[in-house]
Amino acid sequence: MVNRTIVIDGSSLVSVFTHSTWPKGEIEGDGDGRVIWNTVRAVTKMVHQLEPMNVVICGDHGSRETRVRREILSRYKAHREHKPKHERERQRFLKFCRRFLPVRILYKEGYEADDLIAYITKMDVEKERQVVVVSKDRDLLQLQQMYPNYVNCYDPTGKGFMEVPHSDVDFVWLKALTGDTSDNIPSVTGEKTALQLLRGEYKQSLKEYLTSGVTRSEKLPRIQVFKRNMRLVKLLGQGALLEPLEFEDHPAEYAFDGHTLKRALQVFAEDPDSPENDAMARTWDAFMGRRIMKGSSQGVIDWEQRRKDRQRNQAAG
């Protein structure tokens, strides 16, 4: 059996199926459960195809996940429209997974899901596990470039496994030079010049270029913008910032019941009698079977009591 972990950007995945579930103009939905069912089906399909030993779903912690980067650049992602109903769909999905699926749910206040994905990926690669990162976020391709023998990135929008663009240059350095309009990160220079600089084909060296002028948009020294952008685009989980990290934890070592999952899926399915509900429950039964064969236990753990004990200890300390 291949020791493989699927690490899922839960916020990104729910966003994909929110948009695919609801017609244009009704995109925020009404919380009837179809988004949950479609998202769980997508996760289940990946588990069936890839036969992982572990599944980890990382999520953003409400609207405060950008705090760390906004301390570096105040307008980071400031232009993105906040959609409360999207946020509620994400919370409902994570709650469903925590209650019914044998997966690990991870989030931490102040950090984005992709930072947590980087942290988990780093930990699993060190244990020589294969990792499939599931997200539409291209920033995560830096992990594939860092660990080419262990990590593959998968786009759930239908594009499948992704390749690192311009793989002959460092992904993070290229991103720091070109910026990211989707995250409101200004550029130092355009992609053509950036590629020439990184390949040593420009009339100046990278160091000479960065120390010899200002950026067009901000009129700031290029070197200053470049160093700032490096801090913004590099995933925090690669460094020591998140270590050690305590998660809201729900590992795949609890008493899983496929019949209970099937009944929960029927509540949200458009067709409660659909054979897909039973097929999904069987997939997760097989997943737990692989874990048992590997030697992982199914000990029943009272997570609510653990949470109360932790809060009591923190208050006493």
DSSP string across 250-294:
--S-S---HHHHHHHHHHH-SSTT-HHHHHHHHHHHHHHHHHHHH
Tell me the C-alpha distance between 141 and 165, whole Å: 9
Q: What is the mean pLDDT of the chain?
A: 83
Q: Quick one: pLDDT at residue 148?
A: 96
Residue 309 is predicted with a pLDDT of: 72
Residues 215, 210: Cα–Cα separation, whole Å: 10
d(CA 40, CA 269) in angstroms, rounded, equals 11
In this prediction, residue 169 carries a pLDDT of: 96
Higher pLDDT, 257 or 154: 154
Of 87 and 292, the one with more pLDDT: 87
Q: According to the model, what pLDDT value does residue 22 have?
A: 72
Residue 303's pLDDT is 47
Q: Is the pLDDT reported for residue 42 higher than 90?
A: yes
Contact of 154 with 132, CB cutoff 8 Å? yes
pLDDT of residue 220: 96
pLDDT, position 2: 84
The DSSP bridge partners found for residue 160 are 155
Query: What residues does 132 pair with on adjacent strands?
Result: 6, 152
Average pLDDT over residues 13-42: 78
Residue 299 pLDDT: 41
pLDDT band at residue 242 under the 50/70/90 scheme: very low
- pLDDT confidence of 209, banded at 50, 70, 90? very high
CA dihedral 215, 219, 225, 229 (to 10 degrees): -80
Residue 43 CB: number of other CB atoms within 10 A?
24
Residue 175: predicted pLDDT: 95
Looking at per-residue confidence, does 256 or 110 come out higher? Answer: 256
Q: Kindly tell me if the per-residue pLDDT of 302 is higher than 80.
A: no
Q: What pLDDT does residue 275 have?
A: 95
Give pLDDT, residue 251: 47
288 or 26, higher pLDDT: 288
Task: Determine what percent of the chain is predicted with pLDDT higher than 70.
Answer: 80
Summarize the confidence of residues 89-112 as an average pLDDT. Answer: 84
Q: Which residue has the higher pLDDT, 176 or 64?
A: 176
How confident is the model at residue 80, as a pLDDT? 63
pLDDT band of 240, cuts 50, 70, 90: very low
Cα separation, 274 vs 96, whole angstroms: 19
**pLDDT (tens digit, 9 = 90+) per residue, 153-176?**
999 988 899 999 999 999 999 999
Give the N- to C-terminal CA distance of the chain in Å, as an integer.
Answer: 44
Give the model confidence (pLDDT) of 263-298 as tens digits. 999 999 989 999 999 999 999 999 988 876 665 544
Please provide residue 296's backbone torsions phi and psi, each rounded to the nearest 5 degrees.
-80, 145
pLDDT of residue 119: 86
Ordered domains of the chain (ranges, CATH): 1-166+237-317 (3.40.50.1010), 171-233 (1.10.150)
Average pLDDT over residues 219-240: 84
Q: Nearest 5°: CA angle at 295, between 134 and 261? A: 55
Q: How confident is the model at residue 300 (pLDDT cuts 50, 70, 90)?
A: very low
